[in-house]
Structures are given as C-alpha cells and as structure tokens.
Amino acid sequence: MFSALVFTSLSASPLAAGQSKWLGNVIPGSVPANWDTYWNQAASENGCHWGTVQPTSGSFSWGQCDLAYNHCQTKAIPFTYVCLLWGSQEPAWIGGADGKTAFTNLVKAAAGRYKPQFVIVVDEALHAPSSIRNSLGGSGSTGWDWIVTAFEIARSAFGPGTKLLINDYGIVNDSGAVQRYLGIINILKGKSLLDGIGIQCHQFNVNTLAAATITANVNSLGATGLPVYPSELDINGNSEADQAQIYQRVFPALWTNTNIKGITMWGYITGQTWKDGTGIVDAGGRERQAMTWLKGYLDTTKV
C-alpha cells in the first residue's frame, strides 16, 4: 500500500529546497515554464546591465530587469542585481557625461525601484574595468579608488539590507588571480563596503579544473571571512556523458565548500545558453545526464 511513496522520486523542487544554500539561475527574456522546478535564486541574464536599463541619459528601460526581480518577489527567493558597473555593455552616452554623476543617478534609480538581496556593484574589475573609472577617482591612493567610490555610492543608495558583491572571471582557476582579486577585496573589506565575493565559473574556467584547485582557491577567498558566491556557472563537454562527468568533479567541490553560501548557474536550457553545449535540460524538457546526476546528488548531499 506504500508503493506510491516508494516509487515517487525523492527529488525536491526546487533542487536546493531545504538546504542552507540556494541554487539559482538566470531569467532571460521570459521565465521558462519549468524554471521554478529547479531554481531558488535568480539574476536577469542581461536585463539589468547599464546599457540595457538606461540606453539614453534621459530614459530608463526596466522591463527585463523587472521580469526577473518580480519573479523572485512572487516566489520569495533571493534576487541578485547584475550589475551596476562593468566595462562591457555600458551605454555610449556616458562617454560624454560626468561619469560619477551618471553612475550615482543610475544607482539611485535602481535602489529606488528594487530591494534586492544582492547587488554586484563592480563586475570584472581585473578584466573589463569601467570606462568611467577616472571620474570615480581612478587608481588613487588605494590603487582602486574608483571601486571604493562605486561601493560607497551603492551602500549609500541601497542601505544595509542589500548585500554588496564584487564579481570576476578567471579567479577560480588561478591562484595568482586570486591574490590580485584579494588586493581589491581587502581594501573594500577594510572599509566595511563588501559583503560577499563573486566568482564567475564559466566552462572555460572550470571544465578542466581539478576539485582540489577549486577548493584551494575558494578557501583563499573564504579566509577573508566573507561568503563566496560562484556566479555564472556553466559546464559543457565532448558528449552528454562527458558533461555529466565534469559536473561530478566540479559541482561537489563548490557545493560542499563551507565558504560558499549560494551558486548561480548561467542558463540551463539546451540552445538557449550563452556558451554552446552548456544546457542540462533540452528545449523539450528532457533532462540530460548532468541534470539527472545533479538531482540525485542534491537529494543525497545536504549542506
């Protein structure tokens, strides 16, 4: 008489339900029908970038960012605003404006509209620094004054209820980059401006990475006492089975690390991801081997 229970999948929905960490994903131009089945934190894929939300100096366009934020509000799950200041996808008009004034207006407008749990204030400082960095103080006495200024503006606008993050790629695979990143992180931490450390984990950074390397680099960041948030996680492989194998090497090293408090993946539907081959659910809803493994793993590994 208990057969229905015995044969029902144990998989919780969303995947990280009941765990101490969230597992999220991006929301692109619309919310995929099966999105809530899997994820319990979100970022807009491109919808909150400065070039998207303020294409001209006098007009804001929040539709895409609203979509992701409102979905999180409806589901009562954390939202990460990605991002305020990044050297890519900046609107052209800021080149002719006073950068600090323009940035302050952007941040005030975003903070007036949203109460996000997390905001990535500066993205890719080591790889794609903002074009307005000199207007924000340039290198200055700390070496990174423009980043300090950006965080001060964000803290003032968003207040203490929003956790401010920094984010970059090429970190989790590179102990030298970890040290350069810590140079910025420790300046912000010393001024109580930073609440967490984002590390992009795209396939080009993690596919060939040993679990021990991930652990060592994450622990170096975690030694600051700040939580670490893998962002933009995606993995592909030579085949569906290969992709699943890489998941089994990389994902547990992140999920079980106590310095890590949540993971955001960067797409999941085959053919609808930034990097080819990183989907783990086909467009028709079939779960690929990596997703089958991930569900089973999260059923049995509780953090």
Ligand X SMILES: *[C@@H]1O[C@H](CO)[C@@H](O)[C@H](O)[C@H]1NC(C)=O
- Interacting residue ranges for ligand X, rule: CB under 6 A: 169-170, 173-174, 204-205
Backbone angles phi, psi at 56, to 5 degrees: -130, 160
Q: How far apart are CA 287 and CA 265, in angstroms?
A: 16
| Residue 205 C-beta: closest distance to ligand X, Å | 5
Burial readout 17-56 (b: 16 or more C-beta within 10 A, e: otherwise): eebebbbbbbbbeebbeebeebbbbbbbbbbbbbbbbbee
Using the structure block, give the residue that is written with the tokens 């994902």: 251
Q: Which is nearer to ligand X, 174 or 242 (CB)?
A: 174
Backbone angles phi, psi at 93, to 5 degrees: -65, -25
Q: Which is nearer to ligand X, 217 or 243 (CB)?
A: 217
Q: Which is nearer to ligand X, 100 or 180 (CB)?
A: 180
| Residue 50 C-beta: closest distance to ligand X, Å | 23
Q: Which is nearer to ligand X, 19 or 220 (CB)?
A: 220
| Residue 271 C-beta: closest distance to ligand X, Å | 24
Q: Which is nearer to ligand X, 220 or 292 (CB)?
A: 220
Paired with 265 in beta bridges are 233
Strand order of the β-sheet with 262-264 is 42-44, 22-27, 262-264
| Residue 124 C-beta: closest distance to ligand X, Å | 10
Paired with 200 in beta bridges are 231
* CB-based contact 51:91 (threshold 8 Å): yes
| Residue 213 C-beta: closest distance to ligand X, Å | 9
Taking CB atoms, the residue at the shortest distance from ligand X is: 170
Q: Which is nearer to ligand X, 145 or 174 (CB)?
A: 174
Using the structure block, give the residue that is written with the tokens 């339900």: 17
| Residue 216 C-beta: closest distance to ligand X, Å | 12
Q: How far apart are CA 246 and CA 201, in angstroms?
A: 13
| Residue 167 C-beta: closest distance to ligand X, Å | 13
Q: How far apart are CA 218 and CA 175, in angstroms?
A: 10
Q: Which is nearer to ligand X, 31 or 126 (CB)?
A: 126
